[in-house]
Homo-oligomer: A and B are copies of this chain.
Amino acid sequence: MSPPLSQPSPTPDTLTPLRLKRVAIDTYRENVAYLHRECAIYRAEGFQALSKVEVRANGRRILATLNVVDDACIVGPDELGLSEDAFAQIGVPSEHPATVSQAEPPTSISALHRKIAGERLTHADYQAIVRDIVDHRYSKIELTAFVVATNQGELDREEVYDLTAAMAGVGRRLDWKAHPVVDKHCIGGIPGNRTSMLVVPIVAAHGMLCPKTSSRAITSPAGTADTMEVLANVEPPFERLQEIVHTHRGCLAWGGTSELSPADDVLISVERPLSIDSPGQMVASILSKKVAAGSTHLLLDIPVGPTAKVRTVPEAQRLRKLFEFVSRRMGLTIDVVITDGRQPIGYGIGPVLEARDVMRVLRNDPRAPHDLRQKSLRLAGRMLEFDPDVRGGEGYAIARDILESGRALERMQAIIEAQGARAFDPEHPDLAPLTFEVTAPQDGMVTGIDNLHLARIARLAGAPKVQGAGVDLLHKLGDTVKAGDTLYRVHAAFPTDLGFARQACERTSGFMLGSPADLTDLHVEF
């Protein structure tokens, strides 16, 4: 109810400088400063362990959480220790003089309190909050408070726009000097859903500029960047990436969010452990990055299914409206498609297995997964229709022609070469050697496949860290199987991993077997 009492930080001249020391402790995103308990300034200032302090050296300043040390081998009484990240941020050598003082509370803290109290915030409030977040002025506690207070239902659509605009405003912004600059994005949650690796070469082959950046896996067994990494280097220097995009009209690289959406990069550090992914935050996170990446047109894929992120079509429709509203305000052309998310896409789950599926589609190999091919062609078709010269409805046929003629494969190979090819033989993919199979307990039709459980099994098996690990599905929804038929095969590199994966499979296979009547249809576009 009453606001916090802010401690003014004393002026530098009131402070005795300490000698800076790099403390070789990796505290991830959190800056930690280490002061010896006998340090004069510590005693004078009455710091507390976990107080937020401001460290100044050579004109630079960073904020850090204070840990108090009683071991001179870590820091001495006249030293100021910084965790590795913090030390890198302040960017001065060891032994350099530095001062430390109580950190002023971030100016946007009052806005945060109003949000916690359930009030509506203004455009200016979000600008201030995002600015403070990017400057690392928020503690983990304050970040979490912001994420939870702006969660589900707490933000109206105007606020979602304000947050998106603020997040897009603080990062670097790319300009491809072209129009349209097209991009596609899936809200995620569906294992094996590697359509970008097919859509990009098709759209690029058509001549549209499609500089696709993707994320690595966060809680999934593989992100597009992880799978592409099986085939090529996904982190070429930015200048090189620009050349590639201008030469080949497309790329498939790792996003490196930290530059394009630094606020998102910080927020994710608390959203991830809480697995909070509310509509407002999802929209702000995705659209701020797309705008910062210089996209003018976005095709957004919202998969729906009982084990997808979005469980029902009405929920997907609400999310679609929110994406449309904010995109319009951001000046971004968006086309939202609601797709079938009842099961994984393709056969493979895990980087190498997914790369195999993708290459089979590009090579028009009869063993290519039908669903991955169809979905990719449909998405590519919709994207092609961003081209004013393509008539509505013609996209799909053009996309199919580009794929079947081999021009998509050609373009993909060019992009792979340009980014830096990795040795990969789709005929003999380098799968993790240890395996076991999960079989059907009785005859029946596959009427359900649990995305979450299969993703979990693939992760326990070692994906994405172990590229060749994961799950290879032998059957999909609608298939009829006999008792003893193999439903899927698990690949792992280490016995421990294989053991964890087997434990998970023993609890439940993730497959539901039943009669055709149990296979409920989902009324989505595709």
On whether the beta carbons of B8 and A503 are closer than 8 Å, the reply is yes
Residue in B4, B147, B148 whose CB lies within 8 Å of A275: B4
CA distance A276 to B112 in the complex (A): 11
**Contact bitstring A371-389, B, C-beta under 8 A = 1, else 0:** 0000000000000000000
On whether the beta carbons of B24 and A70 are closer than 8 Å, the reply is yes
* A413 proximity list for chain B (CB < 8 A): none
Chain B CB within 8 A of A185 CB:
no
On whether the beta carbons of A26 and B68 are closer than 8 Å, the reply is yes
Residue in B3, B67, B152 whose CB lies within 8 Å of A25: B67
Nearest B residue (CB) for A15: B496
Q: In A262-317, which residues have CB < 8 Å from any B CB?
A: 270, 273-278, 307-311
* A307 proximity list for chain B (CB < 8 A): 2
**Contact bitstring A496-518, B, C-beta under 8 A = 1, else 0:** 10011001100000000000000
Chain A: interface residue count, which band? 35 or more
CA distance A50 to B4 in the complex (A): 28
Given A219-B4, A496-B14, residue A69 in contact with residue B26 (CB < 8 A):
yes
CA distance A273 to B3 in the complex (A): 10
Chain B CB within 8 A of A84 CB:
yes
Q: Which of A27-35, A127-135, A162-170 contacts B (4 or more CB under 8 A)?
A: A27-35
> Most B CB atoms within 10 A — which of A4, A44, A153?
A4
Given A8-B503, A275-B113, residue A24 in contact with residue B74 (CB < 8 A):
yes
On whether the beta carbons of B5 and A455 are closer than 8 Å, the reply is yes
Q: Which of A136-144, A347-355, A436-444 contacts B (4 or more CB under 8 A)?
A: A136-144
Nearest B residue (CB) for A6: B456
Given A26-B70, A71-B24, residue A153 in contact with residue B5 (CB < 8 A):
no
Given A28-B48, A49-B27, A452-B2, residue A144 in contact with residue B151 (CB < 8 A):
no
CA distance A169 to B70 in the complex (A): 37
On whether the beta carbons of A274 and B145 are closer than 8 Å, the reply is yes
Chain B CB within 8 A of A342 CB:
no
Given A144-B141, A496-B10, residue A310 in contact with residue B26 (CB < 8 A):
no
* A311 proximity list for chain B (CB < 8 A): 1
Residue in B48, B152, B273 whose CB lies within 8 Å of A141: B273
On whether the beta carbons of B2 and A44 are closer than 8 Å, the reply is no
CA distance A29 to B275 in the complex (A): 24
Q: In A452-486, which residues have CB < 8 Å from any B CB?
A: 452, 455-456, 459-460, 465
CA distance A456 to B311 in the complex (A): 51
Chain B CB within 8 A of A423 CB:
no
CB A6 to nearest CB in B, in angstroms, measures 8
Given A26-B49, A145-B274, A273-B139, residue A456 in contact with residue B5 (CB < 8 A):
yes
CA distance A145 to B151 in the complex (A): 10
CA distance A494 to B49 in the complex (A): 22
Nearest B residue (CB) for A74: B74
* A148 proximity list for chain B (CB < 8 A): 116, 144-145, 148-149
Nearest B residue (CB) for A453: B5
CA distance A311 to B1 in the complex (A): 9
* A2 proximity list for chain B (CB < 8 A): 189, 219, 275, 277, 307-309, 452
Chain B CB within 8 A of A207 CB:
no
Given A70-B84, A274-B145, residue A44 in contact with residue B8 (CB < 8 A):
no
Q: List 22 A-B contacts (CB under 8 A).
A: A1-B278, A1-B310, A1-B311, A2-B277, A3-B452, A4-B273, A4-B275, A5-B452, A8-B500, A24-B70, A25-B67, A26-B49, A26-B68, A26-B69, A30-B50, A46-B465, A74-B74, A116-B152, A116-B274, A141-B270, A145-B147, A145-B148
Q: Which 10 A-B pairs have the closest CB atoms?
A: A24-B71, A24-B70, A28-B49, A144-B144, A26-B68, A148-B148, A4-B275, A28-B50, A1-B309, A26-B49
6 further A-B contacts with Cβ under 8 Å, apart from A5-B455, A5-B456, A74-B74, are A1-B278, A1-B309, A26-B69, A116-B148, A141-B144, A141-B270
